[in-house]
Structure 1
Amino acid sequence: MHMPVGTISSSRDTVGVAVVNYRVPVVESKAEVLENCKRIASFIDGAKRGYPGLDLIIFPEYSTQGFHPTRWLELSTTVPGPETDIFAEACRRNKVWGIFSITGELNPKGNPWNSLVMINDRGEIVMNYHKIHPWVPQEPWYPGSEVLVVEGPKGLKVAGTICYDCNQPEIVREAVMKGAELVVRIQGYMHPTSLQQKLISQVRAWENLTYFAVANMAGRDLVYSYFGGSNIVNFDGTVLAECGQTPDEVTYALLSLSAIRDARRNWTAENHLFNITHRGYTAVQDGVAECPYEFYRTWVTDPAKARQMSERLTRSTVQPEEHAAD
């Protein structure tokens, strides 16, 4: 079930996807943010020229505004806004879909959101996902509460996730059970976790029979060094395309619509999506549908008790005790 690699075209059955190892921006003002947006737009122009089959291009978390350690709030913006207007025009003129980062998006409830924005080939915003699991203890973003799945290019069902989100396996399973065939992870991950994050993309793809695409930053900002490694993974967990650590690398792969749909419908062994709710169907008529996991049943019916279960294994304070006085 391996997809062919090495081509720059696409077809009615295949979606051409590119991921960008975007160089981490260091910006000090909104004017500099908009200049960076124009640079991002130029990547869309170049990628479409270089990969004529391109249907969807994906940029990393923090690629628009960076993550300034002291000015992150004043660099926040709206969706739609001047930044997404630049992206929308680039998608429209190149007739491609794009996924972009807004960090942060102004939020009337409190701190800004960390947002993934998907724009179609007509320049319309079709997804604005708010990161559910901000990275602690550094990120100041207000947590989102809903996994989003939309119909993307050529009918491919696409879900958006952001960085630390995917360290929680539940979010990808939720996206796939909502119909996602491609789970996109935009991230701003730094050393020393490069090994773990590469493994996650392959494991999440395999355990959910889903295409998985990661766009990560590369280079150094005022705080961290980012390892790149943007990749595109087949639904069997094999890597279709992968960048190195060099800033601004772009890579490309084809995702077959018929192949993933055939696998989900016809695989028996390793069809994790069917087998999870049809446990033991070789021995039991139709298999067992009930959830066997006490923690998940508790989490839904009694969140406070589920939190206590977690705290028994970890701690009962937000900060470890030795930091409580800091």
Structure 2
Amino acid sequence: MAARETTNARTLTIALAQYAQLELSDPSAFDHFCQSVRSICEASARDGKKIDLLAFPEMHLFGTGTAGEDEANQAQLDAAVDIPQSNGGETEFIADSLPARCAELAKELGIWLIPGTFCERNPEGGIYNTAAVFSPSGELSGSYRKICPWRPYERYTPGDSFTVIDIPGKGRLGLTVCYDAWFPELSRQVAWLGADIIVNLVRTTTPDRRQELVLARATAITNQVFVASVNAAAPQGVGQSLLVDPEGEILHDSEGSDEELLIDTIDLDAVSRVRRIGTAGSNRLWEQFRPDDPEIPLPLYEGHIKPLRWQPQQH
């Protein structure tokens, strides 16, 4: 990482909770979740690190244990929630709904909270796998529906749009969910929308977590952004969560599949520094195309790389 060049760093203290999934069948699951969140924040404050952002793995609150595929799918359909649209103002939650209770918890603790993903009801049938970010003021700052369900195993309805969220005074946060990370087009779009950090919420149970660790670093390198990949702990997940800087260096990683909390304070100004100076002082990826370069056809997408639109959106 390049040396700091400013005293006005946009620092963000982020906590990745590599925790075991909670069971839908447990009526006390959400109380347990609240207790965990409060304990994390209290312990961190005692250690002199006030958490700004706390993120949990994919489907953390929607575990189905050892249920078969059909039974698990039905349980998630039955538990699906409605998530209001965020319009930058006061969020109209359904009273006492799971999203409303998460918003209240974020406000109580004064943190940005990503409680994993929700089973979001699709009015046309089925469910989305939806990540939501709740602000310290108790509002829904944004939500993102997983675009690439892990087919053929996951039955979620794919999303069709991207989400980048402003954290005032800090920077911008982009969201992806698990298998999305295998498709570099998605992370590129999120980075282009101005994300300083991409948070990838994961519930990987399979041996390919090793490849996902490579993808997390590659995503950071090729987009010059921070990447946080938080996976579920055993027995549902294989853990191995990590936080990567804009040059692909691992800042923090877990030691295995047990429950673990990763906390680090990152300087989001590192994104602009690396893009200006270059990765390893050499590569300025977002300056590759110049305004007078020809357009490059991308037949796969029926589109083009347009040099005038190549650089990320400013904030």
Is the structural similarity TM-score above 0.5?
A: yes
Counterpart of 2:153 in structure 1 is 138
CA deviations over 1:248-279 (Å, ceiling 9, x no partner): 3101122213221122234383222221x33x
The answer on 1:294 being equivalent to 2:291 is no
Task: Write out aligned runs for 1:245-324 (5 A).
Answer: 245-267=256-278, 269-275=282-288, 277-278=289-290, 288-297=293-302
In structure 2, C-alpha distance between the alignment counterparts of 1:51 and 1:83, rounded to whole Å? 30
Task: Write out aligned runs for 1:71-86 (5 A).
Answer: 71-79=75-83, 80=93, 82-86=97-101
Q: Does the Cα contact within 8 Å between 1:209 and 1:235 map onto a contact in 2?
A: yes
SS in 2 for 1:218: coil
TM (norm. structure 1) is: 0.78
> Which amino acid in 2 is paired with 1:243?
S
State the percentage of identical aligned residues.
Answer: 23
Q: Unpaired runs of 5+ in structure 1?
A: 5-10, 279-285, 301-326
Q: Does the Cα contact within 8 Å between 2:246 and 2:270 map onto a contact in 1?
A: no
C-alpha displacement at 1:62, in angstroms? 1.2
Task: Write out aligned runs for 1:3-22 (5 A).
Answer: 13-22=10-19
CA RMSD after TM alignment:
2.6
Counterpart of 2:34 in structure 1 is 38
C-alpha displacement at 1:43, in angstroms? 4.5
In structure 2, C-alpha distance between the alignment counterparts of 1:118 and 1:237, rounded to whole Å? 25
Change (3 A) 1:291 1:299: closer
In structure 1, C-alpha distance between the alignment counterparts of 2:254 and 2:230, rounded to whole Å? 9
In structure 2, C-alpha distance between the alignment counterparts of 1:248 and 1:123, rounded to whole Å? 27
Counterpart of 1:324 in structure 2 is none
In structure 1, C-alpha distance between the alignment counterparts of 2:122 and 2:248, rounded to whole Å? 37
Q: Does the Cα contact within 8 Å between 1:291 and 1:297 map onto a contact in 2?
A: no
Q: Unpaired runs of 5+ in structure 2?
A: 84-92, 306-315
Q: Does the Cα contact within 8 Å between 2:25 and 2:64 map onto a contact in 1?
A: no
C-alpha displacement at 1:37, in angstroms? 3.5
The answer on 1:24 being equivalent to 2:39 is no
Counterpart of 2:249 in structure 1 is 238
Task: Write out aligned runs for 1:82-231 (5 A).
Answer: 82-152=97-167, 154-221=169-236, 226-231=237-242
Q: Does the Cα contact within 8 Å between 1:18 and 1:57 map onto a contact in 2?
A: yes
Aligned residues: 282
Counterpart of 1:57 in structure 2 is 54
CA deviations over 1:62-111 (Å, ceiling 9, x no partner): 11112454122112222245222332233222221111223311121221
SS in 2 for 1:74: helix
In structure 2, C-alpha distance between the alignment counterparts of 1:261 and 1:118, rounded to whole Å? 24
**After the TM superposition, which segments of 4 or more aligned residues of structure 1 sit over 6 Å from their partners?**
none
Q: Does the Cα contact within 8 Å between 2:10 and 2:170 map onto a contact in 1?
A: no
C-alpha displacement at 1:245, in angstroms? 2.2
